[in-house]
Amino acid sequence: MEQPLQVPVGRDIRLADFDPDHHEGFDRDDAEAETRRHCEALDELAYRLFAEARRAVVVVLQGIDTSGKDGTIRMLASGISPQCLDVRSFKAPSALELSHDFLWRVHAAVPPHGRIGVFNRSHYEDVVVVRVRKLVPRGVWEPRYDQINAFEKLLADGGLTFVKCFLHIGKKEQRQRLEDRLRDPKKQWKLGPDDLEDRQRWDDFQKAYDDALTRCNTEHAPWHIVPANRKWYRNLVVARLVRRTLERLDPRFPPFDSSLITRLD
């Protein structure tokens, strides 16, 4: 099965064609060791981005319930200093948020220059859960794909680099994870009736994601489909991706004014 992490722009994406178990033949120990190496490199790169303070990065994490968004954030935070990181979670919108356009709260959460933002869910909920649960009519969500592309272009032109990750797990794996949550007192709080209802609409969610991934896969903000049935492989893929993105940006410390040396008394 062909399994590109980044699907060429313009190609139709069907999640059913991607294997959530894919792991490049890695075993857990090797993957975890390599992830640690990426995290060490990330710490230094993030610090340079922070010092340079001219550009920003945002890691967008999408995926159905239990796909591993929280765990991915824990991994990134283990490598990057908190002052360089800006984590935002998007829940069902408040009354205030609903009284604005759907991108208002997202724009306000965009990281400032120098920071790596992480979005735990994002504006993609507005073309996925909103569509599946029929929270607004088709005439409202349908134009949103173009609106999202225009919004992401505006931000990209302003110096923001997107790393959009779809954490792809299989239906059987989700059942296992939901069952673990139901049985584990430390995880039960994460579960609500919505999660079980959403599982019953599995096929509708997959279809809504197929469309979001296809229609919002652009040169300025491409999607990555991260096989996520194995948590350690998911972490490896995201760590490597964020590291490569920062290496490409190659942030520099600002120029040093050497006259400062003579001014130290």
By a kind-dependent CB cut-off of 5 to 8 A, residue 109 interacts, out of ligand AMP, Mg ion, none, with: none
Toward Mg ion, which CB reaches closer, 46 or 208? 208
Of the ranges 42-50, 64-72, 102-110, 257-265, which one interacts with Mg ion (CB under 5 A)?
64-72
Single residue of 88, 113, 121, 181 touching ligand AMP by CB under 6 A: 121
> Exposure pattern of 191-207 as b/e (b: 16+ CB <10 Å)?
eeeebeebbeeeeebbb
Single residue of 56, 130, 213, 242 touching ligand AMP by CB under 6 A: 130
Measure Cα distances from 217 to 136, 148, 225 in Å: 23, 11, 11
| Residues forming beta bridges with residue 166, ordered by sequence position | 62, 225
Toward Mg ion, which CB reaches closer, 48 or 199? 199
Nearest of 170, 164, 166 to residue 226 by alpha carbon: 166
Toward Mg ion, which CB reaches closer, 125 or 152? 125
Of the ranges 65-73, 96-104, 218-226, 242-250, which one interacts with Mg ion (CB under 5 A)?
65-73
Distance, in Å, from the CA atom of 209 to the CA atom of 215, rounded to the nearest integer, reads 10
CB atoms within 10 A of CB 190: 14
Single residue of 60, 65, 224, 239 touching Mg ion by CB under 5 A: 65
For residue 262, the SS3 value is helix
Residues in binding contact with ligand AMP, number by CB under 6 A: 12
By a kind-dependent CB cut-off of 5 to 8 A, residue 165 interacts, out of Mg ion, ligand AMP, none, with: none
Distance, in Å, from the CA atom of 261 to the CA atom of 259, rounded to the nearest integer, reads 5
Residue 198 in the binding site for Mg ion (CB under 5 A): no
> What is the closest distance, in whole angstroms, from the C-beta atom of residue 91 to ligand AMP in the complex?
4
Measure Cα distances from 198 to 155, 166, 182 in Å: 31, 17, 16
> What is the closest distance, in whole angstroms, from the C-beta atom of residue 174 to ligand AMP in the complex?
13
Measure Cα distances from 152 to 114, 118, 137, 226 in Å: 18, 15, 23, 21
Please report, as ranges, the residues that interact with ligand AMP according to CB under 6 A: 65, 90-93, 121, 125-126, 129-130, 135, 194
Residues in the site for Mg ion, rule: CB under 5 A? 65
